[in-house]
Amino acid sequence: MTVLQNFSVVILAYVLAHGLTALLITPVQSRLMPELTIFASLAYLPHGVRVLSTWLLGKRAFLPLFLGAFLSEALFTRAEISTPTQPLILLSIAVGAASAPLAFEAMALAGRRVYAVQRARIHWKWLLLAGALASVINSAGQSLVFSGHILPDDSVAVVAIYAVGDLIGLIATTLALMLIFRWIRLFLNRAR
């Protein structure tokens, strides 16, 4: 695949994952925790796209992740809540897009290179650890970005929801992709 094709796949996957989160998960969560739902999701599926895209593309994943998040904001966020061109939202998008590349680079500095091009086999525990670290980076970054908008009493809950939501999103996305790839392999083997 060319770079443009890779970027297009990442952008589309991000928008689809964000759409599923916005249209299925957020309505349920908003009934349970309306004051926290505006900031974070309990199952943020795009985090899985962030981590898996970074694993496959390396640092280059930042740009398509940023564009996917920007398009997702434009498509799925009501204008009265925010617009993707607001400086605060652009900063939030950049933090989210940078979280996985920063986590992978931090792991590389610690001596554990987990990019797909650097390993012949997938080591799921290291990939999930990179995703967890990306979640921590994203949680801390988003908390700083929105610090003036989160009530002090809700700040710990918002950070926790970011972290938990990112991890659940990563696990759900990874499991879904594993099943999809397995079905594709089974289909291709039957076709032979």
Question: Average per-residue pLDDT in the chain?
Answer: 85
What does the pLDDT average to over 34-48? 76
pLDDT at 119 over 70: no
d(CA 178, CA 128): 14
d(CA 129, CA 155): 24
d(CA 105, CA 101): 6
Q: Structure pTM?
A: 0.86
8 A C-beta contact, residue 33 and residue 27:
no
8 A C-beta contact, residue 45 and residue 18:
yes
Question: Given pLDDT bands bounded at 50, 70 and 90, which one contains residue 166?
Answer: confident
Question: Given pLDDT bands bounded at 50, 70 and 90, which one contains residue 75?
Answer: very high
